[in-house]
Structure formats: C-alpha cells, structure tokens
Amino acid sequence: MSFKQELRRYKRVFVVCDRNVEGFAGQLAGGETPMFAITADETHKSMDTVLDICRWLLEQGADRDALLLAVGGGVTTDLAGFAACIYKRGIRYANIPTTLLSQVDAGIGGKTGANLDGYKNILGVIRQPEFTAIFPEVLQTLPEKEFRSGLAEMLKTFIISNLSHAYERTVKLVSSAGWPEVAKDANLQELSELVQLAAGIKQGIVEKDEFEKGPRRKLNLGHTWAHAIEWWQSVQKKPCSAPFSHGEAVAIGIVQAAKLSESLGIAEKGLADRLKSDIEACGLPTDLPCPVKDLLPAIQKDKKAEGGLVRFVLPVKVGRVVVRPIGPQLLLQP
C-alpha cells in the first residue's frame, strides 16, 4: 500500500510540519490537506506552541475522527503528538520523521512533550502514533549538524542493544565516508539499513515497556547529562555562540556515562576511551562544556529523579548497559 493510499483510510487529515520541510509535507499530503507550519526549535518547544496547534485544529473544524500528521524532526513530532493527545481529549496522530534523530529515536515510541522554563520535556504524555513512516531519501537534504545529532542517537541505540556489529558498522561508515558522502546514493542503502535497524530496536523495546518502568529506561543512555547541558545553555547569562544540539549533548553524555561506569567498577576498563575515540571519529563532541557542578541543578531536577537519586544508564560494554540509582553529588567526586 502506498503512503497516499494509507492516508485515504482516514476521513480527515491535518498536517503540522516544521517550516523547513513545508514543501516536502505538501508533496506527501497533497494540496487539499490543511497544513500548519511551526518553528521547530527548543525555544518554541513549549505549551504556547502546543496551544497554537490546538487552536488551529479547532479553527479548522477537526473532530474526534481526525488524524494529525506530524512531519518534521523530534520537536515537531513531540509537539504535534502532545497537541493530538489533549485536543478534544485525544485524536489520532502519525509521524513522518524527517531528521536522522527522529527516524531512529524521537519519532518512535509514543513520547510527546514540551519544555517548561528551560527544563526538557517536563510536560507530556505517552501515547502511541497510528504509524511512523520513514523516508530515507530526506536525509540527503539534512545540514551536517542535524545529521550528526541523529547519529549520536543511532550510536546510543546500538550501544544499548546486543548488536555490537551494527555499532561498528556505523562508526566505520561515518568515519570513512564523511559528510555529505555518507548520505549520498553510494552509501544511502547501507545508511538506510542501519536506520531501519535502529528504529526496529527502539520499537521492540517500546513494545515491551511502553511507560518506561523497566527496559525502556536504558534508552536514556547519555540523556541525563544531555538534558543538563541543554538547560545550562539556555540559562547562561552569556549565551553560547554555537550551542550543542540535542544529539551532540547526548554524545557527550554517553562518554560521561562510560567514565562514571568505569569509576564505579561496572564498565570494562578502557570503555570510556574507546567510546570517546569512536564518537570523535564520527565528528561528534565528547567533552563537557562546563564543570559538572554547573550541571547539578538540572541533573537533580531530571525527570528520572526519585527520592533524591537519579537513574543513570551505565554502559558495561558495547552491547550491554545497566541502570543504577545514584546520588547526583557523587558526580563531583574526582
């Protein structure tokens, strides 16, 4: 069944898209489908944007039988999905992820959300989309920073799975081909296979643990530091000239998690150095932009914090991680 045939199953379809992919969204949905373009960045990932989407749906006469189609990266699918979940107590939604990050992570699993006062994804619900459709060819149009941001999430997915060969394939492909050759026709087939593999891994984990009570927690590898870095960037009196993207912050967080894991005697010796070397070979950052103490306020408010402890995902080796509750103050120890 073609994508347009799939859409015909729904009586009324409404599209929310990132302004940067408005043309692609129009081609997918057809000229008659109502569309609402949003500015999809962390500054606009707020309840104000969610409410704007809901108002637009109301103005368009969207009923409970409507389908809201989100076309864009993770910010777009998070916001549109959240709006769909609360509009008229819930309508159906589907995702067309257009960034590497959203194809392997953010567009899969049913998490929706908005930021609150600079803190990541404090508001939101978990509700599965009708479907997620991946179009590998859109990766060829990504800016390099966006591609590498998604690459960090793909590496993370392979680190937490038992498919260490996929991690090694990814590092080899990206470090040897470089950007933009890695997404060109000669390499697109292999990249597409790795994307589908990563997406399948996440979907399999979500199906076992939709509400993050067990196995799904390991998907947060690197994210405690990443969210803290993003918060730190947003609250600085002097903003960063070139702030890290979410995926770049995750790359830093993965290395920090490996260092913590080694210090606790959990990880194989030398794992942190190996991950640091591989991640840097893929063109991603690995060093914290500030002292750990500057990140503690956000780490302590992390959505995974319970009873003063934060559940850190700690790698044992490539292909295996564990989840341990740790007091954030432990991070200050040399």
Residues marked as catalytic: 89, 111, 153, 202, 212, 216, 220, 223, 227, 246
Q: Which residues pair with 14 in a beta bridge?
A: 68
Place of tokens 């008229």: 88
b/e burial code for range 158-177 (CB count within 10 A of at least 16 → b): bbbbebeebbebbbebbeeb
Rg (CA), the chain: 19
Closest CA to 276 of 258, 249, 250, 295: 258
Encoded tokens for 285: 């950052």
Closest CA to 253 of 212, 192, 214, 302: 302
| Stretch (H or E) spanning 323 | strand 320-326
The CA–CA distances, whole Å, from 47 to 25, 79, 92, 123 equal: 23, 8, 19, 8
Instruction: Give the chain's largest Cα–Cα span.
Output: 61
Residue 216 near residue 210, CB atoms below 8 Å: yes
> CA-CA distance, 29 to 45, in Å (whole number)?
24
Return the beta strands (E) in 4-89 as ranges.
12-18, 35-38, 66-72
